[in-house]
Structure 1
Amino acid sequence: MAEERSIEEVLDTIGDENAREILAAISIEPRSAKELAEECDLSLPTVYRRIEILEEHDLVKDRTLVADDGNHYKIYESNFDSTVISLEEEGEYRVRIYREENLPDRFSQLWDELNPE
């Protein structure tokens, strides 16, 4: 399924170098904020601020894990497969965010786009 976002919102979010580094890291495998800070060479507050922004745009999701010592912590993972920015006939940009778990919806949308009424 594709979700429409304003071009400004998406570009502002993914235009930030730190946010892109975090997205790249979690696209490989889910990571905790501490792991992201170490891998991306960012401060922990910077990681949390970027994650908050990415979550606002539904680009990141989290899961809570329990460590062996009983402490809880979150790991973050990418919440999309691809983003497509296209220029429409009206001269306006359109942003589509595709998510794997919605494959039947994605197929339906693709079919609709290929067979306009």
Structure 2
Amino acid sequence: MVRDPFAEGTEPELTTVLEALCDDDCREIAETVESAMTASELSEACDVPLSTTYRKLDTMTEATLLEESIEIRADGRHTSRYRLAFEEVLLSIDEDRRFELTITRPARTADERLASLWSEVKEGL
């Protein structure tokens, strides 16, 4: 399932983000991912077993720290590609001493916004 960290109402739970950020492999992936990379590319670049990489990618997409997209290939096979879905993660405490999580997202291109809109339209059909 492809998760869209930019969609309204997809703000993750604080604990979900903290668990991802506390994980050494997840932080390594975040430091390594360039543009859009496959799980295999990230596994190799981070020197993490592929099965572990898939689990970490799932953790990070659940925390909306990575954006997952599907690449359709001419041979009919498809693959997921991952890229960073944040510029900054801030943890603060408000005046009532509750933790607040703020995730700053990168600006989306017109093509990305259109693709997201089209995806929402298709779900409504």
TM-score (norm 1): 0.71
How many residues get paired? 100
**Counterpart amino acid of 1:89?**
E
CA distance in 1, matches of 2:56, 2:90: 21
Q: What's the counterpart of residue 78 of structure 1? A: 84
Q: Which residue of the partner structure matches residue 30 of structure 2?
A: 23
Deviations 1:73-104 (A, max 9, x none): 221111122111112222222111111237xx
What RMSD, in angstroms, separates the aligned Cα atoms of the two structures? 2.4
- Between Structure 1 and Structure 2, the one with more strand by share is 1
Who is 1:112 aligned against? none
Per the alignment, residue 88 of structure 1 pairs with 94
Larger Rg: 1
Bigger relative CO (Cα 8 Å, ≥ 6 apart): 1
Structure 2, unmatched stretches of 5+, are 1-5, 109-125
Q: Which moved more, 1:11-20 or 1:54-63?
A: 54-63
| 1:53 equivalent among 59, 63, 74 | 59
Shift of 1:69: 5.7
Report the structure, 1 or 2, having the larger helix content: 1
Distance 1:90 1:46, change over 3 A: same
Aligned residues: percent identity? Answer: 28
Aligned 1:36-47 pairs, distance under 5 A: 36-47=42-53
TM-score by length of 2: 0.67
